[in-house]
């Protein structure tokens, strides 16, 4: 009789405990990105020409001239960028956007 009562109590306890919740599935992995760095047509091709007074670097992407960087022996480097027709070049001191945020000194100790 004691065994029967023990079995009934254990069945009641088992019925009261909720079943374990299923673990949520992890989100699916995003598709892999194409390997752009491995494509030789998209990598810039740099030709370096050293002269007595300057070093010229021609940068081409997919065979098209993008810019020329000229580094004089004495002085700051500058860039020559082909214009729309590709026959003339525009000179720039840097390839930045030309926008610079205002920076003021507010506090100083």
Asked if 47 and 58 touch (Cβ cutoff 8 Å), the reply is yes
Please enumerate in sequence order all residues whose Cβ is within 8 A of that of 42, keeping only pairs 6 or more positions apart, or say none: 36, 61, 62
What is the reported pTM? 0.53
Confidence tier at 101 by pLDDT (50, 70, 90): confident
- SS3 category, 91: strand
pLDDT in tens, 27-73: 665 566 565 556 666 788 999 999 999 999 999 988 888 999 999 99
Q: Which domain holds residue 72?
A: 45-92
Indicate whether 81 belongs to any domain.
yes
Residue 73 falls inside a structural domain:
yes
| CATH number of the domain bearing residue 88 | 2.20.130.30
Residue 8 lies in a domain: no
In a domain, residue 55? The reply is yes
Domain count, the chain: 1
Q: What share of the chain is helix, strand, coil (3-state, %, to 5)?
A: 15, 30, 55
């Amino acid at each position: 009789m004691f065994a029967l009562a023990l079995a009934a109590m254990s069945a009641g306890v088992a019925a009261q405990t909720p079943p374990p919740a299923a673990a949520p599935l992890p989100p699916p992995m995003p598709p892999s990105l194409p390997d752009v760095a491995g494509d030789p047509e998209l990598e810039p091709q740099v030709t370096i020409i050293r002269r007595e007074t300057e070093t010229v670097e021609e940068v081409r992407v997919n065979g098209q001239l993008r810019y020329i960087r000229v580094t004089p022996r004495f002085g700051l480097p500058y860039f020559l960028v082909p214009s729309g027709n590709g026959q003339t070049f525009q000179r720039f001191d840097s390839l930045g956007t030309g926008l610079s945020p205002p920076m003021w000194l507010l506090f100083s100790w």
